[in-house]
Amino acid sequence: MFLFLSQELLDKYPNLDVNQREYEISKKYGAVFIYKIGYNLTNNKPHSSRAKDYDDWNLMAILLFTINYMIGQLN
């Protein structure tokens, strides 16, 4: 499991949209935890608004797995 700040993903993939950044990082690492996804990043947009009613943006996060990673763990 790899942990990333949402800002780190934007810094790493500045020309990709949110979905593409999530796809690329999970493809590379298999299982990732992206946190602080509700705050505005340096591009003045939040990484995600998946849970708009969430009250602590420091804890707001998502857990991503790639299918290849999960299949590999089952074999």
Give the residue from 71, 73, 5, 75 showing the smallest Cα distance to 42: 5
- pLDDT number for residue 75: 47
DSSP conformational letter for 7: H
> What is the pTM for the complete model shown?
0.71
- Over residues 20-36, the pLDDT tens digits come to 998 898 888 888 888 88
Cβ atoms of residues 25 and 9 within 8 Å: yes
Confidence of residue 67 (pLDDT cuts 50, 70, 90): low
Strand order in the sheet with 31-35: 2-5, 31-35, 61-65
